[in-house]
Chains A and B, each alone.
Chain A
């Protein structure tokens, strides 16, 4: 089975440009998560979706960041305009519901997108 797929794997852009990161979750998973990893802040959750609906976006840093999930097999994270402090590795992860309980089970991570904003 294919794992979580992310594209692009690397993105270099200039300050002020729009950046779009893409994610395809594992088929059948109805939870999708976006994370950011930096040296200073470690791994932090930005937003997550359940059945294509955003559940918790409290980690989204500011209005320049937006995420969508138009269908069960695709999500985007957009930064507009980008700034040098947005440079990081962005991970997408997916999961499935816990049996008989609320919430999700084990999360599986994609390979990440390394973003550099000059």
Chain B
């Protein structure tokens, strides 16, 4: 099956710093999503980004599908950005209703005041 690797596994930042999280995947994909799991356990959608670049406030993401990686940028980090960031991918298929969304192990981010 498709492999999803996220780096770094852990990250500690001072409030106001910028960071880049990476997601590598081992096969072509139909679907790539970034999620933030907050300290209360909620999974919050950040980006649906199988290819290209998107921005939402202080966050932006870029997926280079041909090179099988995606990057999540967090600028001017805040303490509320703390939590675990997951990348999840669905392997590309040319038929049927869709495959499994496979999650990486996550990057645990801690933003200190």
The chain A residues found within 8 Å of chain B, CB to CB, are 31, 33, 42-45, 48, 50, 55-56, 59, 89, 91, 98, 101-109, 111-112, 114
* Complex Cα–Cα for A33 and B93 (A): 18
Q: Are B48 and A103 in contact (CB under 8 A)?
A: no
B66 to chain A, nearest CB (A): 19
Q: Which of B33, B41, B94 makes the CB contact (< 8 A) with A107?
A: B33
Q: Which of A42, A44, A105, A114 makes the CB contact (< 8 A) with B106?
A: A42
Q: Number of contact residues on B: which range applies?
A: 20 to 34
B103 contacts across to A, CB distance below 8 A: 42-44
Number of residue pairs spanning A and B whose beta carbons lie under 8 angstroms apart: 66
Q: Are B42 and A111 in contact (CB under 8 A)?
A: yes
Q: Are A107 and B30 in contact (CB under 8 A)?
A: no
A18 to chain B, nearest CB (A): 24
Can you identify 22 A-B contacts, CB atoms within 8 angstroms?
Answer: A33-B101, A43-B88, A48-B100, A50-B97, A55-B96, A55-B97, A56-B99, A59-B100, A98-B30, A102-B93, A103-B31, A103-B90, A103-B96, A103-B97, A103-B99, A104-B31, A104-B97, A104-B98, A105-B31, A109-B35, A111-B41, A112-B43
B94 contacts across to A, CB distance below 8 A: 102
B100 to chain A, nearest CB (A): 5
Question: Is B51 an interface residue when CB atoms closer than 8 A count as contact?
Answer: no
- Among residues of B, the one whose C-beta sits closest to the C-beta of A44 is B103
Query: For A33, A43, A56, A59, which residue has the most chain B Cβ atoms within 10 angstroms?
Result: A43
